[in-house]
Structure 1
Amino acid sequence: MEPLPPQAETVPFPLITLEGPAMERGRQYGVQAGERIAVCLAIYRAAIDAKGVEWEKARTVARRIQERLEKSHPEQMAEMRGIAEGVGEPVEDIVAINARTELLYGLSKAAVARSEPDGCTGAIALPSVTADGHLLHGQNWDWRDECADCGVVLRIIPEAGPRILTFVEAGMMARAGLNSAGVAITGNFLECEKDGSRDGVPIPLIRRAVLSQTHLSDALLTVLQSPRAFSNNLMVSHADGDAIDLETTPDEAFWIAPEGGLLVHANHFVSAPARAKLQDRSLLVNADSLYRDRRVEAHLRAAAGSITLETLKEAFQDRWGAPRAVCRSVVSGPGGRTSSTVATILMDVTARRMWVAPRPYGPHSYTRYDLD
């Protein structure tokens, strides 16, 4: 597929290549992304402070999380220690931004009352419905607008295992991405009454672990076997031509298969068992989720058999219901916070390529990123 033409000049997210042993990769990350990691830390220090939690308390909790991760995810912890060394910050601060969900929603007096929309609309088109038989996978990431200033794309070349290409908030381990074996992942906010009821692995580390797998079955097992503290929806695909959506909670995971070659998800529980068993608190802050997924699916369904990256881009630009649309313009929230569609991420998983556009609600352009 041809690269998407730019619509306007925007500053692309920087591409950072990490290579070698975990600790060395981390040092490279910390040095090359130092300014953006500092921005990310400032954003979440302020966010946690706004919850009435002192940063030192957040660090204490991060140290406890670190102790668990040293045993369960030693390679990722080595990389985080390298990041801390490279950027000149305590390692617990790097753990803290990776555990931002646990700290933002697990420490405040409001417990797990997640009052700010952490959205996302994701879509996967299987080879049977695309124009050239490629598997396409994409997402609009809706969150704090200022987080566009700390985004980076990582090209990770480990000593063993598949190469990884992932869009992240600087200092984090993974968000949306793909690997050289053909595994790809995006994620969406979900919330239920079980959230915060147990300890778990921070979501960025689960996503990174998924991107370290070579087969769809192993990628799914990685999610299913990981202890989780908070709900999250994970859309996992493979270039060989299939995908599964996992609506996860701390206790369970509910799966959704593609229908008619398409898999679309936003920010509410869709599977029948989940809807019957859980209190879907996601809708208390993301009622627009009820139409966002349907609108993206309708756009793609109308083009079934001829879907391209351009089709996906158009679907993610849908403005119906603005400002609470698929493509969200800047919306003011409590305490002066602003949310928006921070980035659109498009992946041709078959070709192992990614395109990312920052702040796509305004004039924007897509930048192509390759694994090689």
Structure 2
Amino acid sequence: MHSSEKTAFRTGETRIVTVSGTNRDMGRQLGEECRPGIGEALDLVASEASRIAPLDQARERALAYLPSILQDAPHLADELEGLAESAGIPMADALLLQLRFEAVGFDGRGGDGCSSLAVRGTDGHMVTGQNVDTVEDHVRLGLVVRMVPANGPSILMYTYYPGMIGYLGFNSHGVSVFGNALLSPGWRIGFPRYLVCRLALEQRSARAAEARIRALRRASTINLLLTDGTGDIRDLEQTVDRVETIEPEGDRLFHTNHYLCDALKADERLLAILPDSEARYEAGRKLLDDIDATGDLVAAAKDVLRDHHNYPSSICRHRAKVSEYDGDQWMTVASLVAEPSAGRLHVCFGPPCQGRYRTFAMTPAA
């Protein structure tokens, strides 16, 4: 697909790209700014997908998702067309960049973990975020994207490789979106999970995001932890056909990679593959319970995400075998802490016990 020579993608050393205008404009700008990294990302996705099917079949399958995108979010199809044009790649590849989870999934060789949290201070200040656990290459390829669309809220989000147009972060209305892999039966051609995240990031409230998500014919499964500027915390555990809401325990919520809602536990398939999810959940829930809601919530959230209780089955994940699952050799490739009301996203590229968090602003410094 692309040269196998690695170019160590960087957007300068800033790790952030700003795009603005119409959706097609934003796609073109992202493709132009990130062209070298997009090539590397496609190599990585193609390599993972090839374990399941040849690349031409993966591309053909990627195109099968386009009608769902055109039906429910035609503006995102426009954005992907702009991305493909400026990056010099076919539309199938632009789609494949959004479909890594559906293309690779949990086939016994690939997948993702992740631990997410939200905590509301006594003054109403909301802090939310997560560790992103996946394959090591994404440490190098991780990027922050600042979107300033002609219509709708501005978005500040992390993507684990260039070319993704939807993942984790918050918008200028104060809505934050973080999430975790879940697995239940029935995956199908439909609306992809990373674009579900993007649609949630376009909404004015957590409840509006929930309504948008419920209306989709979703392709795969995910847990989304949503917050907004009113102090609402909503966790949506999803199968392809159902959405169940988990309410926070007081002013905080923690989630990992298995269903917590009783109504969906019969559909649970990931816990048998990733038994460390329970250990991470119990450790994170206790650590979150111990946070002083009157204190420095950003520092407290970072401490939770650095935690090594039950190592190697820990919230801060390192390459170590924790199950019989062939694909569990991933690590924490990014740790994210968001302050939506302050317009700040703190990102550590790599395990947070080893690196420092960098702060990215919704509004660039003058």
TM (normalized to structure 2)? 0.90
1:231 correspondence with 2:221: yes
Indicate whether 1:220 and 2:210 are aligned.
Answer: yes
1:249 Cα deviation after fit: 0.2
Cα displacement string for residues 208-249 of structure 1 (whole angstroms, at most 9, x for unaligned residues): 111111122211111111111211101011022111101000
- The alpha-carbon deviation at position 37 of structure 1 amounts to 1.3
CA distance in 2, matches of 1:304, 1:41: 43
CA distance in 1, matches of 2:165, 2:243: 22
Instruction: State the superposition RMSD in angstroms.
Output: 1.9
Q: Partners of 1:12 and 1:269 in 2: how far apart?
A: 39
AA partner of residue 48 (structure 1): A
* 1:304-323 equivalence runs, <5 A: 304-305=292-293, 306-323=295-312
What is the aligned partner in structure 2 of residue 4 from structure 1? none
Q: Which residue of 1 aligns with 2:249?
A: 259
Runs of 4+ in 1 over 4 A off after TM superposition: 332-337
Q: Which amino acid aligns with 1:310?
A: A
- The aligned runs of 1:146-225 (5 Å cut-off) are 146-168=137-159, 169-192=161-184, 194-196=185-187, 198-225=188-215
Alignment correspondent of 2:76: 76
Q: Distance in 2 between matches of 1:179 and 1:350?
A: 10
1:7 is aligned to none
Contiguous gaps of at least 5 residues in structure 2: 1-11
Shift of 1:72: 2.4
Structure-2 residue corresponding to 1:37: 38
Contact 1:135 1:348 in 2 (8 A): yes
Q: Tell me the distance in 2 between the aligned counterparts of 1:47 and 1:334.
A: 16
TM-score, normalised relative to structure 1:
0.89
Structure 1 residue 119 corresponds to structure 2 residue 113: yes
Give the match's secondary structure for 1:156: strand
Q: Secondary structure at the match of 2:190?
A: coil
Greater RCO (CA < 8 Å, at least 6 residues apart): 1
In the alignment, the residues of structure 1 paired with residue 201 and residue 56 of structure 2 have an alpha-carbon distance, to the nearest angstrom, of 32
Superposition map of 1:1-372 within 5 A:
14-51=15-52, 53-105=53-105, 113-128=107-122, 133-168=124-159, 169-192=161-184, 194-196=185-187, 198-275=188-265, 278-305=266-293, 306-331=295-320, 338-360=329-351, 363-372=354-363
Pairwise CA distance, 1:65: 1.4
Map Cα deviations across residues 264-309 of structure 1 (whole Å, 9 max, x no partner).
Answer: 100011012112xx23111122211102122122112112323511
Matched letter for residue 213 of structure 1 = Q
Query: Measured at CA, do residues 369 and 288 of structure 1 come closer, stay the same or move farther in structure 2, by a change above 3 Å?
Result: same
Aligned-partner SS, 1:241: coil
Consecutive unaligned residues in structure 1, runs of 5 or more: 1-10, 106-111
Percent identity, please.
Answer: 28
Whether contact under 8 Å (2:48, 2:110) holds in the other structure is no
Structure 2 distance, partners of 1:348, 1:161, is: 20
Which amino acid is 1:328 matched to?
R
